[in-house]
Each structure stands twice: as C-alpha cells, then as structure tokens.
Chain A
Amino acid sequence: MDCLVCHDTTGSYRKFPTACGDPVYKERKFGKKVFPAVDLRKVARKVGKTSRTTCGRCHFYGGGGDGVKHGDLDSSLFKAGKELDVHMDVKGLNYSCSTCHVARTHQISGRYYSRPAAGKHQFALPADDGWRLACESCHSRAPHKNIEILNHHTAKVACQTCHIPRYARGGVFTKMWWDWSTAGKFTAAGKPIVKKDKAGNVIYHSKKGDMRWAENVVPEYFWYNGRMSYLHEGDKVKPSARPLELNSLQGDYADKNARIFPFKVMRGKQPYDPVEQSLLIPYLFGKKGTGAYWADYDWVKACRVGMEEAGLPFSGKVDFIETAMYWPITHMIAPKEKALSCAVCHRRNNGRLENLRGFYLPGRDRWSFIDRSGWVLLGLTVLALLLHAGLRFVNSKRRQDGGKS
C-alpha cells in the first residue's frame, strides 16, 4: 500500500496518470502538463495526518476529472467557504475528511458497496464508540432548536435532503450524461472532434461520445436505507422503457431504516450485447492494432478484447443501452439559512418530492373521496341554509304584510 498518498503533508506527492500508481520519479509530460519529479526524501520526512488535499487528490477527480463523478466532491472543497460546506469551511470548522470519516486501524468509515456508511453506528454519539460518520452522531436526532417540527422529520427525511439544496455549488461542473453510442465521429479530414461548451466542458469527444454537464444541480430524491445492490459483470439484463440501473437503492417508505435521500443520477448509454443480454466491457486504452477503442475506434473489436479479458461471453453484436447510476449526495452542506423550506416539499404541484409517490405527504396529497365529498357536503349545507334563510325571510315579510293589511 502507498502510505504517502494519504499521509503526505507537503502537497508535492504526485502520481503519474498512466504509471499504474507509481509516483513521478523523473520529470515527465502528460499531454501538455508537466509532472515534476517528487522529492521523496522531503515527503517522507513530512508525513502527517491525512487531509482534504490527500483524500481529495483521488476522490475529487473520480471518473477522470475534477468533479466528474460525485457532484458533491470536487476541487472546490480544497478551499471551501462556508457557503459551500459548513464543516470544511477553511475559515470555520475546517474539517478534514477523516474528522467525519473516522479511521481506526485504517478502516475508514464509509459506505462500502452494500454495507451502509454508518453501519451499526448509525446514530452513535462520539462518546459511545468513537465512530461518528452520521450527522446524528455529532448533532443528535433532534438538532433543531427553533423549529420543533423539523425534528419531527428525522425518521423519514435524511439530514442531507434538507441541508444540501443543490450540489456542484463550488463552480466545478459535474457530468450528468455520457452517451458512448455517439463516439467515433471524425471530421471530414479524419481528425478527432472535441467540442466544448462556454464553460469549457467537453460536450463531445470522438473517444467518448456526447456528454452533458451541470452545476448547481437540484438532487433527485429516493428512499434509501444506506444499502445498494450492484449489477455485476455478466449479469443478464433486459432493455426496458426505464434506463438500466447499474446500482439500485434499497429501502422504501415501509422500511424503518430508510429515509428520503438526495442523489445525483448519472445517466448515459453504454455498449450492450443484445444476444447475450449483458453489458459489454470494451477495451479502451492501448496501442493501435490491439483493438483498443481509443486507438482503433471499432466497438466490436474493443468489446471482443475486453470481454475475453474478463472471461465473459460475447456474441459479436454491439448495441447501446441507456443506464442510470445513483450517487448519494452527502457533502456540500450549506449554511442553515439555505436549508430547504417547508413549501419546497409540502405543496400540491411541482414540489421537490413530486415524483416520490406511495406515501402521504401533507399539503401535496389528499384523498379525492374525502376532499370532494367534504366540499360537496359543505356546499349543499350552505345552499340548504340559504334556502332556509330565504324562506324564513319571505315568510316573515308575508306575515308582516298580512298583519298590516
């Protein structure tokens, strides 16, 4: 294991992109970028606690670039302000990742595939056992002093849902859509095409296809008990009207461990074998003639090499299937003033929970039977009373007139 990648404090410890995890021993160029050689003696003498810099060097760049993967973990958190993240605010609490992701004997707390992030320690207080990844472990389940009703939400709504009104707020875009099916287009002269949007994000690349990016994104909300199940290589899948879920969230309204949780949903199109009915693993990176897609631009060849390497069957047919992947949004906690207000959820139409059905949300839902009969009965009553009042009035007039004549 490479210890320095986490324990370096100088910030100069760098790995070379294609050197299989080796640091930069000699100055090298990657494209136009120069990677200076690392002074390993200096780094070794300055090892220390992990920091946002060391963890972030990997986690902020997941998916091949800054903010690409998570949407709530990107380089803007190196020097976060309070608006971006109340805990990692450099002028405030200035938490490092491991303040929450407590590590004991190098077991860094966090979700691990299907194991929930907080495990058994979901609501543990620090004094209990030292684990404190869950918000509740520092804040308790009733953190709200002014508005009691907010504390009445914690059994059904995760803290993150209200406290992360939007993600990718730090000025770094995150990737929302990646369509591999359009890759492999070239200019008339046979040159690769690279298109960028105004913000400088690549929206088309001959190697990768079409991509869409976004910042300040409103999360999507789903029930989630901290567990996910994953699609595995070789699993049989059928195309359907809904995108194929690469990971599916566990938990629903009836599950007492599930809460409504915010997610980034990464959507796209990926190579798919319509005969074997499985996702394909293409071989991407390699030299010309090896079948590598980024050199030969032939999906069938790339998939044949990739699937062979993986030891999986391949029919020779390549199709594309729309996929979706869920990424929990849990960082970039905004200041309390920016937390969601009631009517964002509790409203008849166009609320944030509009698409999350199957339970009763006050202000959004009603039973047409009760509401309709209620209002109709009220209307009939008022009509009857008006009629009664009218008759009373007319008859008393008549009696008075009769009395006079």
Chain B
Amino acid sequence: MKVKIHLYTRFERFWHWFQAFLIIFLLLSGFEVHGSLKLFGYARACYWHNLAGWTLLILTAFAIFWHLTTGQWRHYQPTFGNLEKIVHYYLYGILKGEPHPFHKSPERKLNPLQALSYLFLKVVLLPLQFVSGILYYYYNDWINWGLTTRLDGVAMLHTAVAFVLLIFLVVHIYLTTTGGSLLAYTLAMITGWEEVEENV
C-alpha cells in the first residue's frame, strides 16, 4: 500500500530551492570569473557572484538556526549500518527493479547515503567554500591582517571545491529521477508530500 506523508516543511522547501538556485548561479558566475564561461560579463559576474555568496551565507545561517531549534539536524546523523545496502541498491537493485531498501518517514527522512553525503556537503564543502570565498572577497585587506598576500592558494581551493560541488549537483539531480516516477522526488520537494510504501 502506498501512503502520502508530509516530509518537508515549508521552510525546508524554501531553503532547499533558494539554496539550489544560489548554488547553480554561483557555479555559473564563478566559472565566468574563473574564465571558463562568458555569460553576464566580467563585472556583473563578479558583482552577482559576491552578492549571491553573501546571500547563501545568510540563508545558511537561518538554516542552521532552523536545524538546531527544530531538532531537524538529527536527520543528518550518519548511520553506517545500512550504507552498503543503499549503495548496492543504486548500483544494482535499481536496475533489477528491486524496491528501495530504505523506508522514509518523518522521523528519518534521509537514507544513510543521503545523510552522509548531505552532512559532507554541509560541514565540509560549503564551509570550505564560505571560508575561502570570504577570504577571496577581502583579499585587498590581507595586508592589514598580516596575512600572506598571495591569492593563488585560496583561489585554488575555491575552484577545486567548486568542481566537487558541480559534480555533486549533477549526481544529485540525476538521483532525483530515481523515485516512483522521474519527477516524483522533485514534486515532493515542491509540495512537501511524498508517496511512500506503507511501513509494515
């Protein structure tokens, strides 16, 4: 039996989509600043990239507050027990038409692989990007802070993490098509409601 459950609250959905937009925009404008694309023009790319970066930082501050106050952070606690099963499912089971080994519920929304990778995104990738981005932004002031005045280290890190984020994004988008229908997961993130197999 399939049932519909309410998985994603309004703030969570807003946060998700706004963050998605900002990250995609930061990647586009960032790669223009890096010289890989031509889209907005250099001045605008820089300006909007900075603005989007600060916006993402503020959004993240709100998200952290929300996670802490609502206890939602628990969803990201990694569990390694069933990780293997999930990996096996995506590499093999899904091709065979086997059911997903994980049962979503409002108490546990994320499967172990999701929990682990989102945790990595949140505590490693994005913070790295924030720290290197802020340093990059204040480059002109490093002299006053007594730092080295070589830009390359920070820029190198910022670019490398951007590539990881880009690959993350591509895989993430692909995995949204693995629900009951191609758009099922995407719709769930829009409406908040997801159809799941009734837990037995």
Interface residues of A (CB under 8 A from B): 147-149, 151-156, 253-254, 256, 341-343, 346-348, 359-360, 362-367, 370-371, 373-375, 377-378, 381-382, 385, 388-389, 391-392, 395-396, 399
Contact = CB atoms under 8 A, between A and B. Distances in A.
A370 B160 contact: yes
Contact of B41 (A343, A359, A370): A343
B35 A366 contact: yes
B84 to A, nearest CB: 18
22 contacts: A147-B43, A152-B137, A152-B140, A153-B140, A253-B150, A341-B42, A343-B41, A347-B35, A347-B42, A360-B151, A362-B33, A370-B156, A371-B36, A377-B163, A378-B166, A378-B170, A381-B171, A385-B171, A388-B95, A389-B177, A395-B95, A396-B97
Contacts of A346: 33, 35, 42
Given A366-B34, A385-B174, A254 B149 contact: yes
Contacts of B163: 370, 373-375, 377-378
A392 B171 contact: no
Given A341-B43, A396-B97, A382 B159 contact: no
Interface residues of B, number: 37
B149 A381 contact: no
A385 B170 contact: yes
A156 B150 CA distance: 11
Contacts of B187: none
Interface in B143-178: 143, 149-152, 155-156, 159-160, 162-163, 166-167, 170-171, 174, 177-178
A151 B46 CA distance: 13
B20 interface: no
A364 B152 contact: no
Nearest to A344: B42
B170 A381 contact: yes
B48 to A, nearest CB: 11
B67 to A, nearest CB: 28
B15 to A, nearest CB: 26
Contact of B42 (A154, A342, A373, A378): A342
B174 A389 contact: yes
Contact of A363 (B34, B95, B140, B170): B34
Nearest to A385: B174
B61 interface: no
Contacts of A152: 137, 139-140
Nearest to A348: B35
A365 B33 CA distance: 11
Nearest to B154: A360
Nearest to A377: B167
A348 B38 CA distance: 11
Contacts of A370: 156, 159-160, 163
Contacts of B94: 392
B140 A362 contact: no
List the 8 closest pairs (A to B, CB-CB), nearest first. A374-B163, A360-B152, A342-B42, A363-B35, A152-B140, A343-B42, A385-B174, A155-B140
B96 A395 contact: yes
Nearest to A381: B167
A256 B137 CA distance: 18
A153 B43 CA distance: 13
Contacts of B143: 155, 256
Interface in B30-66: 33-36, 41-43, 46-47, 50
Contacts of B162: 374
Contacts of A385: 170-171, 174
Nearest to B144: A155
A151 B47 contact: no
B4 to A, nearest CB: 24
Contacts of A364: 35
B159 A366 contact: yes
A156 B140 CA distance: 8
B156 A363 contact: no
Nearest to B33: A362
A363 B33 contact: yes
A363 B50 CA distance: 15
B172 to A, nearest CB: 11
A360 B174 contact: no
Contacts of A389: 174, 177
A363 B49 CA distance: 14
Contacts of B149: 155-156, 253-254, 256
A313 B159 CA distance: 59
A11 B167 CA distance: 72
B159 A371 contact: yes
B140 A151 contact: yes
Given A155-B143, A256-B143, A366-B159, A395 B97 contact: yes
A292 B33 CA distance: 60
A147 B51 CA distance: 12
A362 B36 CA distance: 11
B152 to A, nearest CB: 4
A381 B167 CA distance: 7
A171 B10 CA distance: 67
B14 to A, nearest CB: 28
B42 A363 contact: yes
A374 B165 CA distance: 10
A392 B34 CA distance: 36
B46 A359 contact: no
